[in-house]
Structure 1
């Protein structure tokens, strides 16, 4: 899907006071996490051995000419070194010194001849406002991370370059494969009139699939079935409530975990609604191929009636309405909850599952695909969550430079790191990768999660580590996971010492890996439901979406706890339509019909 300049103009110029609206509708975080940096195998880069050096900037015209004549060196080092300015958000408690001269800054200059200099840094939650002020003053850095609406605004104002030619010429095959493995939608939405205005920090779509987490030792101890259907799941929920699975002699256990925000990464109801064929907070195709909002589908009513029943019967925490994800997760840590829905890393929310694992030698959690609902197999929703883009100022003389940096971070994540022009020992690589979030940026695709887990599980099953050995991070993962599966809580760390904390982490990693493989299986079988919106924002969404989301959360919460009858859902649907939902549906279908 690509957008026309007239469609972009509609979105950008709707209202004054853009910064406030941006903050409401497109959440953007520049705090880059280094926890769980992962990697994948390499497909092999034909140009890694090249030693040629760049001595001049590659303008769009020059790059187009290069494409027509001879290949460029996609890792070419600038001699003399060039200076590239950037901006960034940093975590609270960090200092600028952590980012101005770290190992990544040194590596860019040593390997690529790029001196990265930051014009400014701010605490992450102040970043978006600072960017908006920067755009208004036109005091731009060469390279900037922005959200989708800021990208549209900058493109409209002529503040950023078309990167299509430099991307086509300089991005390695490895990078292109990694960043388009789930399709090109993240690139399409940054493309206007055929011009690519930003490199998306792609979030792989299959990694957004949610599953059901179950306290497996409780299930086995009580002789309960695997949760293949909603009936199976309910048998487990009632048994967890009634049969004292934590063996403390008290009636203090719950059936299913929820948090007050309902539609989050864990302890959520989105997955449960999917089991009934409803898709809140997603736009899906109807039988005619048109977009419909999945949160007002008739199937929502049956799901909400069932949740109200669970609440009345004590299967759901009576205080869930005042607990966010972290607080809701503490019921897991206290061994008062044995089931919740969530994304692949949800076991780490609030450190709850690792805490339970460390505190109880019998603790075992596992994941299951969403159970079949009342009408048959469930199709879990998956999302394109890409909401960050690397853009290049129209005044920057070296638009290919950030593409080279992107190549390099992917090579260090996906491998092979031990051979070729940039060959490193494991120790050298680890020093760099341990702070992988401290460089210019960290797209999710550098992790290579899915292929890495395929390699790991295949090696464990067959004993053939050929693919694993191509990637240092895959080696590290394979070693830790195989040791955990062999030794459990007594697994040893790199120093040969038993490490319960590492075992608790590996316990969670295995669930993440199983989630990825299940997502592949369901996708291949056509059993995933894709959210078709991505991060596109229509004009009326700018005006009304926050109100609609707030109203939705309020009425659904009231129905679950019994403060509103199910009949009020019909009234809510009519209100939703009249308060902008109907117009949003029209706008999105106009956009979708041109771009699907």
Structure 2
């Protein structure tokens, strides 16, 4: 019979053996093992990630790819052992409605991309997984550097009561700027219009002095579309009038700090009325496209070679300028940080870095898989492109455009070599930008007129956008104007769309002469009564709680 000491020893030994045995048994509720605790770690056993997806029904793949069968699905499976399954798929224009229905019925896929408004609804309904731990544990260093480039603003939009409930997008800082036919200016002996007075004179010359030399009165001064300006939700967009409003220190759609330090809504300020009065004069004089809001696309006049001025971000060099060059290879579109205000400043609306979010359904077993997929997409987008990319959001350093412009200038000037930027991996397009530039940009490198470009170069659109458009982010006259509030209040959730629609309708009517300028004052009072004052109070309260 065992003595007492031996019995104690054997009992302890059995406990150790049982503990070790259990430690070698994978948790049946998780596919994770030690090797998988890595931003690109592959699951030992396959897992499934079900997503909701918006698609362009008119898009046709020439290689036979589909949303369910494409290089991204294959790469994610091969690299991570994650099977991407499409829970539902709708046309992009129906995506918002589909997501709203999914939120209301709590029938969510494992992950999807949503807007800020939808994110807040899901947070309120307690439908989302907490990503705080899995983000810090699994997000790649590159992803973290990009999100940190917003100085905490991206995380602020995705964090609720201390919990990270979504993966935020990050968009490069950009502005609306003037794109103008430099060849028309040269033909008429004009300079880029620095002020509103000069802009009016230039637009008049473009309409009345036959700048294209065809002997017909068929040209348009300022081309714009139905969206007159960008509000605090999104931007910068193309073919609006942001810089014209800003030249009058008017920032419609933005929340500003009033003289008393309290929030005020930019659209209802006297400066906006002054800007509308000038735009009404310009339209009435035929200097703004008389088919504003009627054309199938406002870009028609630019692409057809009839428009002389439009306002757009740096990406005007991606579109519509290349399309215009197909019709007229000598169309010399240049971009400027103009017009200036009375004090010589180019006032540019600055937009929030985050406009969309990847969310994960509460209860999904593998929330870290969503972060891993995002890591892979960020790393390998240059390989597989954006077609059929699952859970697509933009992830670019906040200063990507301005940093890339400076790097290109340094390389073209011989002050740096492309390999000097090898450690800047968060700038995912920079390697190609720098290595392709001297095959795209022709000498002299300090001249950006169209004749100094290889327009057939594979990187032409990107390089042209950066060196013609992006340079304006470095303009010494640039005055950045931010909205002091970019989120939603409770009353906004029910009233905002109605208020914004009424605002845009009235402003369009005033510009086109359908409504008198005095209608602005009546609308301001109506805006206040129909929820504007309540929303302003809610914004003030939200600001105080920060």
Q: Same fold (TM over 0.5)?
A: yes
**Could you tell me how far 1:224 is from its partner in structure 2?**
1.2
- Describe the shift of the 1:412–1:254 C-alpha distance in structure 2 as closer, same or farther (beyond 3 A): same
- Describe the shift of the 1:512–1:571 C-alpha distance in structure 2 as closer, same or farther (beyond 3 A): farther
- Give the superposed CA RMSD: 3.2
Corresponding position of 2:66: 98
Say which structure, 1 or 2, has more relative contact order (CA 8 Å, 6+ apart). 1
Of residues 453, 464, 482, the one that matches 2:417 is 464
Matched residue SS, 1:380: strand
Corresponding position of 2:8: none
Corresponding position of 1:359: 327
The question of 1:389 aligning with 2:357 is answered yes
Q: Is the 8 A contact 1:367 1:511 kept in 2?
A: no
Of residues 529, 532, 541, the one that matches 1:578 is 529
What is the count of residue pairs matched by the alignment? 499
Corresponding position of 2:138: 170
Corresponding position of 2:7: none
More moved, 245-254 vs 466-475: 466-475
The question of 1:369 aligning with 2:369 is answered no
CA distance in 1 between partners of 2:280 and 2:339 (Å): 19
Corresponding position of 1:340: 310
Corresponding position of 1:519: 473
CA distance in 1 between partners of 2:85 and 2:545 (Å): 41
CA distance in 2 between partners of 1:512 and 1:347 (Å): 8
The question of 1:483 aligning with 2:439 is answered yes
Of residues 190, 214, 218, the one that matches 2:158 is 190
Corresponding position of 1:442: 392
**Could you tell me how far 1:94 is from its partner in structure 2?**
5.5
Of residues 122, 125, 128, the one that matches 2:93 is 125
Corresponding position of 1:257: 223
Which sections of structure 2, spanning at least 5 residues, go unmatched?
1-25, 231-236, 444-449
CA distance in 2 between partners of 1:335 and 1:159 (Å): 51
CA distance in 1 between partners of 2:464 and 2:187 (Å): 22
More moved, 468-477 vs 541-550: 468-477
More moved, 403-412 vs 510-519: 510-519
The question of 1:292 aligning with 2:246 is answered no
Corresponding position of 1:74: 39
CA distance in 1 between partners of 2:375 and 2:28 (Å): 17
The question of 1:592 aligning with 2:543 is answered yes
**Could you tell me how far 1:590 is from its partner in structure 2?**
0.9
The 5 Å alignment of 1:30-429 reads: 72-93=37-58, 98-204=66-172, 206-207=173-174, 209-263=175-229, 265-323=237-295, 326=297, 328-349=298-319, 351=320, 353-384=321-352, 386-413=354-381
**Could you tell me how far 1:156 is from its partner in structure 2?**
3.2
Q: TM-score, normalised by structure 2?
A: 0.82
Matched residue SS, 1:74: coil
CA distance in 1 between partners of 2:435 and 2:186 (Å): 28
CA distance in 2 between partners of 1:572 and 1:394 (Å): 43
**Could you tell me how far 1:97 is from its partner in structure 2?**
6.4
**Could you tell me how far 1:560 is from its partner in structure 2?**
1.7
- Describe the shift of the 1:491–1:315 C-alpha distance in structure 2 as closer, same or farther (beyond 3 A): closer
**Could you tell me how far 1:445 is from its partner in structure 2?**
1.8
Q: TM-score, normalised by structure 1?
A: 0.76
CA distance in 1 between partners of 2:28 and 2:96 (Å): 30
CA distance in 1 between partners of 2:121 and 2:492 (Å): 16
Which sections of structure 1, spanning at least 5 residues, go unmatched?
1-54, 414-428, 493-499
CA distance in 2 between partners of 1:255 and 1:508 (Å): 27
CA distance in 2 between partners of 1:135 and 1:562 (Å): 42
- Describe the shift of the 1:441–1:362 C-alpha distance in structure 2 as closer, same or farther (beyond 3 A): same
**Could you tell me how far 1:380 is from its partner in structure 2?**
0.8
